[in-house]
A and B are shown apart, each in its own frame.
Chain A
């Protein structure tokens, strides 16, 4: 790897960290195709590097969101049980079904989430607490929480819905991320926001908090198999960390409806690429 290529990689990592921290994803979905296509890095090395980038995004961004009380720590821990179990299951038994089913399911799921996020703009009214019964599991696990939004200087109390469904989707997301070397944030954010009705910023922050743990487990496996290239990884970590410093600042002050809209665009591109893979098997993620 020449110095010039490493510098290009650092810039790409900066952008991945910026987008990743703003959207609550690890940035692996940007880094893996970039490294394999533009820099012709070996796919295994690219996955290993991306996992490390995911940890850097997560730790860099999550620290700020935890400090600003955007992160729902209990919800994160509850769902992490599912993601880590899913990741181990994926590593142990593989999938058992051809992986294009996974692409179809998640491709369609992601496009559906995108359409919901565009149709419903998340304004203060939608963020506000709704009356009615809390599900027994949510109550028992004290999943519902409260956060402070810089956008309109308001405190929002929110209720977490459909915890069981969320747990199931998280397990599937864990399976997926172990296989592909991504944090799975692109599944977790819409799952929390659309399915569990967690406000967008809290969903982004909580997803960011979770993806580091899932990625750490897989990253160490790649590391001990000698697939981590320390020069490349170091550049990615430095780039991503700088990116998260900007991205977190943007998110905290952003309008929730804008974050949702940008996320929906991101999902449309991603979902289309996933579905396109069925017809053109060469398309990376």
Chain B
């Protein structure tokens, strides 16, 4: 039974293009790293006696709070990493469609990526 299942699964894997593995790792890593940094931020809250911050730090001003190990810095960094995980995923899809020379999907992914950039830089 187990063997049959793995056989069927392989059949599916072979048919669906296998960038899946890479996307899995990127999405997983993004969340896990983000959660680890956030937990570290709460550890800093517990040990430094800072109160839990209630305002996020803009990306440009992150250097100083990270360097001085304040909870504000690490909690903001964790949140930012999470926000950018889907963006990295879209970029990755762009590369993989380009490698497959699938022009239609390169175009579509590029539009999605451009839309994300528009909302990050023009609307923010």
Contact = CB atoms under 8 A, between A and B. Distances in A.
B27 A84 contact: no
Interface residues of B, number: 63
B101 interface: no
Interface in A215-240: 215-221, 223-226, 228-234, 237-238
A47 B19 CA distance: 33
A55 B86 contact: yes
A60 interface: yes
Contacts of A84: 111-112, 115-116, 119
A203 interface: no
B35 to A, nearest CB: 5
Contact of B35 (A80, A213, A215, A241): A241
Contacts of A77: 93, 97, 105, 108-109, 112
Contacts of A231: 52-54, 75
A153 B108 contact: no
Interface of A: 1, 6, 52, 55-56, 58-60, 62-64, 66-67, 69, 71, 73-74, 77-78, 80-81, 84-85, 87-88, 91-92, 140-141, 145-148, 153-155, 212-213, 215-221, 223-226, 228-234, 237-238, 241
Interface of B: 4-5, 8-9, 11-13, 15-17, 19-21, 23-25, 27-28, 30-31, 34-35, 38-39, 41-42, 52-59, 72, 75-76, 78-80, 82-87, 89-90, 93, 97, 104-105, 108-109, 111-112, 115-116, 118-120, 123-124
19 contacts: A56-B34, A60-B27, A63-B25, A77-B109, A77-B112, A81-B108, A81-B111, A84-B116, A146-B15, A148-B9, A155-B12, A212-B89, A230-B53, A230-B72, A230-B75, A231-B54, A232-B54, A234-B41, A234-B75
Return the 3 tightest CB-CB contacts between A and B, nearest first.
A84-B115, A230-B75, A63-B27
